């Protein structure tokens, strides 16, 4: 009999996964052009510029050419363009230009790149001064007799959607909610024969017995639903999330505040789990601020990791500007997390490049002067 030990199959290593999410950071600007008749005759290729506006971390401007941009058209058309007004390299974006019908009939003239995004993809602006728009935006003779011109004024709306890509770790990380422990709690009340029915006064909706201030009735009712049923009202949470413009205005965020106020650990964890599913480039800064304020440590850790792994995209979001102005300490924590991510990369974490390298996306890393195209 051989003394050689039998070989055992190599132990399987659990597979890993990730998901890249590409989306747009959108913003709009309204441009009022007064004195259109006085602008006529300024010359072909000469434009009136809007004020700068910021979308996706870049500055933009609307250029209106009353005599047209193209010499070959011989003043026949007016031209309208959206220009990249700050330094940037290969900025990918979607655009929409709308000339407003001022008659109230709603027959606006819309040129939208968003509608064609699946057909031709986003437009790439190579450098500062690159533009997207139309040399033949509108025939000038028709414009001057139309409802788009009123009191010698034109109104132009512009929407820019800057394309950003991010690793969606919010779907890869989850926050575990502990099992229900409501039975032992009610059992303890039964054995001790303590407790009694109470009437709460929430914003004058009930009789005056115990006053609860600084909380909306719907939030208090949702908290009571949890206390008595050990569950969240999912339909109400979903409806709140879809209608609220800010994460802090959602029912889930307000319930998280209530859980912190009354030290309801399981409710806090359930809110964390729910908010974790909504983490994105546009929302992570708001959710991070909430998690820090109400000591939702697991949610905060997921937000920091997501922000660090998608730093370039997150820095271009409006939420990052909010952190810069209101929560500078959280910005420092993001940078510490970035350093940790870089250490993971250097130790064989499997990433193709450092997180810091994301900061060079969309920018000129060599500090060169970028030629402006006119």
Residue 372: the pLDDT is 34
The residues with which 156 forms a beta bridge, in sequence order, are 31, 99
Q: Which two tokens stand for residue 216?
A: 């909306």
Give the up-direction half-sphere exposure of residue 304: CA atoms within 13 A in the CB hemisphere.
Answer: 21
Residue 342 φ then ψ, to 5°: -65, -35
Q: Which of 107, 98, 96, 97 lies closest to 147 in space, CA to CA?
A: 107
In 3D space, the residue among 91, 27, 32 whose CA is nearest the CA of residue 370 turns out to be 91
Q: What's the pLDDT at 230?
A: 80
Mean pLDDT per 10-residue run, the chain (374 residues)?
54 68 89 94 94 91 95 93 90 94 92 74 90 93 94 95 76 66 59 56 63 84 84 79 80 93 90 89 91 93 89 85 87 85 50 44 34 34
CA atoms within 13 A on the CB side of 269: 12
Three-state SS string over the chain comes to CCCCCCCCCCCCCCCCCCCEEEEEEEEEEEEEEECHHHHCCCCCCCCEECCCEEECCEEEEEEEECCCCCHHHCCCEEEEEEEECCCCCCEEEEEEEEECCCCCCCCCEEEECHHHHHHHCCEEECCCCCEEEEEEEEEHHHHCCCCCCECCEEEEEEEEEEEEEEECCCCCCCCCCCCCCHHHHHHHHHHHCCCCCCCEEECCCCCCCEEECCCCHHHHHHHHHHHHHCCCCHHHHHHHHHHCCCHHHCHHHHHHHHHHHCCCHHHHHHHHHHHHCCCCCCCHHHHHHHHHHCCCHHHHHHHHHHHHHCHHHHHCCHHHHHHHHHCHHHHHHHHHHHHHHHHHHHCCCCCCCCHHHHHHCCCCCCCCCCCCCC
| Beta pairing, strands 91-99 & 58-65 | unpaired
CB neighbours of 159 closer than 8 A, spacing ≥ 6?
26, 27, 28, 95, 96, 98, 114
pTM of the predicted model over 0.95:
no
| Radius of gyration of the CA atoms of the chain, in A | 28
Nearest alpha-carbon partner for 255 in 289, 287, 219? 219
């Amino acid at each position: 009999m051989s003394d050689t030990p039998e070989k055992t199959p190599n132990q399987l290593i659990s597979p890993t996964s990730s998901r890249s999410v590409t989306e747009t950071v959108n913003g709009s600007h309204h441009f009022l052009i007064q004195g259109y008749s006085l602008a006529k005759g300024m010359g072909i290729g000469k434009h009136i510029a809007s004020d700068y506006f910021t979308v996706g971390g870049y500055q933009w401007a609307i250029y209106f050419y009353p005599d047209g941009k193209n010499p070959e058209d011989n003043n026949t058309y007016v031209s309208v363009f959206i220009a990249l007004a700050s330094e940037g390299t290969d900025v990918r974006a979607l655009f929409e230009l709308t000339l407003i019908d001022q008659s109230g009939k709603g027959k606006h003239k819309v040129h939208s790149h968003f509608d064609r995004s699946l057909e031709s993809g986003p437009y790439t602006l190579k450098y500062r001064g690159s533009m997207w728009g139309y040399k033949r935006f509108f025939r000038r003779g028709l414009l001057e007799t139309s409802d788009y011109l009123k009191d010698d004024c034109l109104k132009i709306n512009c929407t820019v959607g800057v394309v950003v890509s991010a690793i969606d770790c919010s779907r890869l990380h989850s926050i575990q909610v502990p099992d229900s422990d409501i039975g032992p709690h009610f059992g303890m009340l039964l054995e001790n024969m303590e407790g009694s029915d109470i009437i709460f006064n929430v914003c004058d909706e009930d009789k005056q017995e115990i006053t609860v201030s600084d909380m909306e009735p719907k939030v208090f009712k949702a908290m009571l639903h949890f206390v008595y049923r050990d569950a969240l009202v999912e339909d109400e949470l979903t409806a709140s999330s879809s209608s609220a413009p800010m994460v802090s205005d959602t029912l889930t965020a307000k319930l998280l505040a209530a859980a912190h106020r009354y030290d309801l650990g399981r409710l806090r964890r359930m809110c964390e789990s729910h908010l974790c599913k909504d983490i994105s480039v546009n929302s992570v800064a708001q959710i991070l601020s909430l998690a820090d304020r109400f000591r939702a440590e697991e949610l905060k850790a997921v937000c920091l990791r997501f922000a660090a792994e998608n730093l370039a995209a997150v820095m271009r979001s409006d939420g990052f500007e909010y952190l810069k102005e209101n929560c500078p300490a959280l910005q420092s924590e993001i940078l510490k997390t970035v350093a940790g991510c870089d250490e993971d990369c250097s130790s064989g974490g499997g990433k193709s490049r450092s997180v810091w390298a994301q900061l060079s996306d969309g920018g000129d890393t060599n500090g060169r002067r970028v030629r402006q195209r006119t």
